[in-house]
Amino acid sequence: MKNPFLLKGYISDEYFCGRKKETADFTRFITNGNNVVLVSPRRMGKTGLIEHCFRQKAISKNYHTFFVDIYATRNLQEFVYKLGKEIFERLKPRGKKFVENFFSVISSLRPAFKLDEITGAPIFDIGISEIRSAEITLEEIFKYLNASDKPCIVAIDEFQQIAKYPEKNIDAILRTHVQKTTKTTFIFSGSQRHILHNMFFSASQPFYQSSVLQSLDAIDKKEYVVFADKHFRRAEKVVDRSFIERCYDLFEGHTFYVQAVMNQLFSELDEYENCTEKKVMKAIRNRVFSYETLFSEILNLLPEKQKEVLCAVAKEGKAQSITSGDFIKKYSLHSAASTQTAARQLLEKEIFMRNENTYSVYDRFFGLWLQAYYGDEKHLFLQNSSKK
Ligand SMILES: Nc1ncnc2c1ncn2[C@@H]1O[C@H](COP(=O)(O)OP(=O)(O)OP(=O)(O)O)[C@@H](O)[C@H]1O
Ligand SMILES: [Mg+2]
């Protein structure tokens, strides 16, 4: 393993930090037949947790597991395509018989069954428009899952996406299938808390009370520090625990951001090298600026008023009462009304995150980059260094 601080994919327990309670709860819910709604801000570790749970013996031995990310899907056809393809890909290693059975039950997907010209291996190849009736295909997929030799778990990541499909009643159609199936348990995960809450916990919605809610917060600080310390030591890189703690604090433990900085630091330190504060700061800076092209593009595409409000919130870090006279004066904004409108638009674009009355920049690296861009790098340089 070149760098133990993984930024994508899942390898094993070794590179997965903490989450013992979440893993135990999750596994218990699933093995007791409860569907789970897993919610957290983006990049907190939902996908990682699902993958980790799928590797637990209680699950891997007794269930077939499927994972579909529907973030990029725009309608039921594309949803059905993704689900069908995932099931096919998971079955493929089990041999010809399974693949044939798959296409005999899900006959509407049969045109997708092709053989690779070179290797002769079965492949799934169908144009999305060739899926004539997505509802029928969906029904067949559920029929297939129900007839499976082992119970199945289907994780649908970024589930809130179905609320954006143009077809009506998708959630009602899905709910009917989900409810009828006896052999399949579902995980619905996503980052848009209010949409998911509304879908699953509002009495007028089809999914009402069909699942248990699991929210995912940051990994426990102590556990993270022990984890990072272990990996630095193992590679004979000497990093004071207090540096790890301060990086954790800088991002409030938000998993991806802490991991990305640790990954950077690990890559910049030589074996036996003693890490200094300056090196930590450089690693943070390098990581943040590695996204500079992307961040400048986002900034350039924003209308002026949104840019001004974004800059104000970024400078503030966590901004409260952004429509108050004080805030507007401090950052020379136009008016309370225009600030409110800009903030709403930035929330819709997921550039802002709101927690009650407090706004912050959703992508923490973007927030730090903006602070640097607007000439104030204090947050980049671990403000608490004096507390050490
Ligand atoms: N328990 C963990 N230990 C170490 N790294 C983790 C852990 N959980 C997640 N990560 C890392 O954190 C990052 C974000 O995790 P993940 O992709 O699972 O988040 P997510 O909530 O699914 O994000 P998104 O909302 O963007 O889909 C990844 O780089 C992943 O490798
Ligand atoms: Mg994810």
Distance 365 CA to ligand 1 centre (A): 15
Q: Is 251 in the pocket of ligand 1 (CB under 6 A)?
A: no
Choice from 256, 362, 364, 366 to test ligand 1 binding pocket (greatest atom count within 8 A of CB): 256
Among 374, 364, 254, 350, smallest CA distance to 318 is for 364
Q: Are the C-beta atoms of residues 80 and 138 closer than 8 Å to each other?
A: yes
Looking from the CA of 104 toward its CB, the CA atoms found within 13 Å total 7
User: What is the pLDDT at residue 207?
Assistant: 66
Report residue 298 as tokens. Answer: 């986002």
* pLDDT exceeds cutoff 50 at 382: no
Residues 6+ apart with CB under 8 A from 113: 99, 103, 122, 124
- Dist CA 167 CA 147 (whole Å): 28
User: Closest ligand 1 atom, CA of 191?
Assistant: 25
Higher-pLDDT residue of 272, 359: 359
Mean pLDDT, range 65-73, rounded to an integer? 91
User: Which pLDDT band holds residue 377 (cuts at 50, 70, 90)?
Assistant: low
What ligand is nearest to the CA atom of residue 192? 1
Higher-pLDDT residue of 377, 292: 292
Task: Name the residue with the closest Cα to ligand 1, atom 28.
Answer: 7
Q: Per the confidence metrics, is the pTM higher than 0.85?
A: yes
What ligand is nearest to the CA atom of residue 41? 1
Distance 146 CA to ligand 1 centre (A): 31
Q: In what order do the strands lie in the sheet with 64-69?
A: 64-69, 152-157, 184-190, 35-39, 211-215
Q: Is 160 in the pocket of ligand 1 (CB under 6 A)?
A: no
User: What is the pLDDT at residue 243?
Assistant: 92
- Dist CA 190 CA 174 (whole Å): 17
User: What is the pLDDT at residue 384?
Assistant: 43
Task: Name the residue with the closest Cα to ligand 1, atom 5.
Answer: 16
What ligand is nearest to the CA atom of residue 6? 1
Distance 173 CA to ligand 1 centre (A): 31
Mean pLDDT, range 284-303, rounded to an integer? 93
Distance 47 CA to ligand 2 centre (A): 4
Higher-pLDDT residue of 173, 25: 25
Complete DSSP assignment for 16-27: ----HHHHHHHH
User: Which pLDDT band holds residue 49 (cuts at 50, 70, 90)?
Assistant: very high
Among 77, 44, 34, 328, smallest CA distance to 187 is for 34
Looking from the CA of 309 toward its CB, the CA atoms found within 13 Å total 27
Distance 264 CA to ligand 2 centre (A): 21
User: Which pLDDT band holds residue 383 (cuts at 50, 70, 90)?
Assistant: very low
Residue 124: φ, ψ to 5°:
-105, 110
Q: Is 48 in the pocket of ligand 1 (CB under 6 A)?
A: yes
What is the chain's Cα-based Rg?
24
pLDDT digits (tens, 9 = 90+) for 330-353: 888 888 899 999 999 999 899 999
Q: Are the C-beta atoms of residues 125 and 157 closer than 8 Å to each other?
A: no
Task: Name the residue with the closest Cα to ligand 1, atom 1.
Answer: 17
Among 299, 307, 363, 374, smallest CA distance to 338 is for 307
Q: Is 161 in the pocket of ligand 1 (CB under 6 A)?
A: no
pLDDT digits (tens, 9 = 90+) for 119-162: 777 777 777 777 778 778 888 888 888 888 889 999 999 888 88
Residue 382: φ, ψ to 5°:
40, 75
Distance 158 CA to ligand 1 centre (A): 14
Distance 185 CA to ligand 1 centre (A): 22
Q: Is 192 in the pocket of ligand 1 (CB under 6 A)?
A: no
Distance 45 CA to ligand 2 centre (A): 7
Inter-residue long-range contacts of 192-200, CB under 8 Å, 24+ positions, other chains counted? 192/160, 193/39, 195/160, 195/163, 196/37, 196/39, 196/159, 196/160, 197/39, 199/159, 199/160, 199/163, 199/171, 200/37
SS3 content of the chain, % helix, strand, coil (to 5): 55, 10, 35
Q: Where are the beta strands (DSSP E) in 321-370?
A: 352-355, 358-361
User: Closest ligand 1 atom, CA of 40?
Assistant: 21
Among 62, 65, 43, 44, smallest CA distance to 54 is for 65
